[in-house]
Chain A
Amino acid sequence: MSQQFYVSPEQLMKDRADFARKGITRGRSVAVVEYADGILFVAENPSRALHKISEIYDRIGFAAVGRYNEFENLRIAGVRLADMRGYAYDRRDVTARGLANAYAQTLGTIFSSGGEKPYEVEIFVGELGEDAAHDQVYRLMYDGSVADVQGFGVMGGQSEQVEAYLGEHYTTGLDLAGAIKVAVTALGQDTDPVRTVEAAALEVATLSRSRPQPRKFKRLTGADVEAALRV
């Protein structure tokens, strides 16, 4: 008969956290930057089809790092949740806070339940406000913890170096080109020596207040990004 060894809960949680963190750091970083006109998401992603950044609702965007199948699953669930709430109530009743709560509880339950392996993902959920002071960005960790992001945030890969660079060079009230430039330069700080990330390898999207349509999410083309980097 096989003997079950005692593992302390602390050790169990630590092992699960280490496992999740290891999976997340394997990929490249994703940065989110608040600028004067809205929220900018920048990811290093050579694929044109498999997105790390997506639209959830009129004013809500989503960015993720980690295992594709897991965050894609969460993204689709988020779109369903948002569309269902907007249909049952009203479009204005769909909020990033509600979505972040749903994600946090789901990730937390999966993390602490013995059955499933923890999700190896981290997520940004951003909501565009009426003005820059009301923009909200939430960062969700693999264990379901939520943090409020102020100004900028980075997750995945070697995020410490990227975040340190942004901390030094980010200023409030940037224009779009300035925000793209600082975010893209920051993403290149993850190696020593520092590298330059090509526009073709980037996935860039914004939630922009200046967009006249109710759906504020917009993907920027390679040409847009190149033009911003040249300024």
Chain B
Amino acid sequence: MLPEGTRLTGSSSFADYLASTAPELMPGAASRSNGAHSDLAPHATTIVAATFDGGVIMAGDRRATMGNVIAQRDIEKVFPADEYSCIGIAGSAGLAIEMVRLFQVELEHYEKIEGTVLSADGKANRLAALIRGNLGLAMQGLAVVPLFAGFDLETQQGRIFSYDVTGGRYEEHSGFHTVGSGSVFARGSLKKLYSRSLTEGDCVTAAVQALYDAADDDSATGGPDLTRRIFPVVSVVTSDGYRRLADEEVGAIADDVIGGRLVRPDGPAAPLN
């Protein structure tokens, strides 16, 4: 038998349907207590995104930390949201991954029910609503702060949206953005490396450089792991859709970056003026 409520006409939102029929499955629904818990659950760290002519790239390091302990070395923090967008997560890893799963179903659900894809702004707004739903836990130290990027099929360009814990949604017009504990260092690095004329490949190199700089100064961000061959997750979204770069491709770029750092550990020098 089709479950109660499935045959009622309602909204095209899976999250709304879930909240009304199975609220216990909403991300973070189980825990409602007082006090700060930020050290009890793994935290995911640095994500960078940058646009180029014809698309956008997003990259994330592979480390999750729990207090001073490295909880996982090969966690993945960049996911496809649908065919033309991707989402990277920083903050409380368990909650964030659950939120990504819900967001993925949300977009696919809308697409199937309505027979058309959401606009880029529509997707960004839905994500803002999901983050706002997590505000209670964010106040206890279990915040989720994703970075959303996608290829806008209407304007034919890559776009980046950042968020705060209250669900505030901000479009980044500078062409790049970073989130997570190492984001200040990664942003400083990208400021010097990024320009709008970069190609897709250049953007990937700049992102790997920025993650290296973040790992250099932030203990919660992992650098390229040469012994285990663990490299950042790098995704590219263009008019052809979402594509995750193969480990070999990222590995080759990371090897180049590290080769340069052996000569100059602080990375490429920017001209003084």
Contacts and interface: CB of A to CB of B under 8 A. Distances in A.
Interface of A: 49, 51, 54-56, 73-74, 76-81, 83-84, 86-88, 102-103, 105-106, 109, 213, 215
Interface in B153-172: none
Contact of B1 (A76, A109, A215): A109
Interface residues of B, number: 21
Given A88-B25, A109-B1, A81 B6 contact: yes
> Chain A CB within 10 Å — which of B1, B6, B21, B102 has the most?
B6
Contacts of A74: 2, 7
B213 interface: no
Given A84-B17, A84-B18, A87-B101, A76 B3 contact: no
19 contacts: A54-B112, A55-B112, A56-B112, A74-B2, A76-B6, A76-B7, A77-B2, A77-B7, A79-B112, A80-B14, A83-B109, A84-B3, A84-B18, A87-B14, A87-B105, A88-B22, A105-B2, A106-B7, A213-B83
Interface in B5-58: 6-7, 9, 14, 17-18, 21-22, 25
Contact of B17 (A73, A80, A105, A213): A80
Contacts of A83: 14, 105, 108-109, 112
A77 B6 CA distance: 5
A106 B2 contact: yes
B1 A106 contact: yes
Interface of B: 1-3, 6-7, 9, 14, 17-18, 21-22, 25, 83, 101-102, 105, 108-109, 112-113, 115
B118 to A, nearest CB: 15
* Max chain B C-beta neighbours (<10 A), residue from A56, A77, A86: A77
Nearest to B102: A87
B22 A84 contact: yes
B1 A105 contact: yes
A142 to B, nearest CB: 16
Interface of chain B, helix or strand or loop or mixed? Answer: helix
B26 to A, nearest CB: 10
A79 B109 contact: yes
Given A84-B18, A87-B101, A102-B3, 8 more contacts: A76-B6, A78-B2, A81-B6, A83-B112, A84-B3, A106-B2, A106-B7, A213-B83
Q: Tell which of B7, B25, B101, B102 has the most Cβ of chain A within 10 Å.
A: B7
A56 B23 CA distance: 23
A82 to B, nearest CB: 9
A190 B83 CA distance: 40
Nearest to A215: B108
A64 to B, nearest CB: 14
Given A103-B2, A105-B1, A73 B7 contact: yes
A175 B115 CA distance: 28
B53 to A, nearest CB: 26
A227 to B, nearest CB: 22
Nearest to A85: B3
B9 A86 contact: no
Given A84-B22, A87-B102, A73 B9 contact: yes
Given A55-B112, A87-B18, A102 B2 contact: yes
B22 A79 contact: no
Contact of B21 (A51, A84, A215): A84
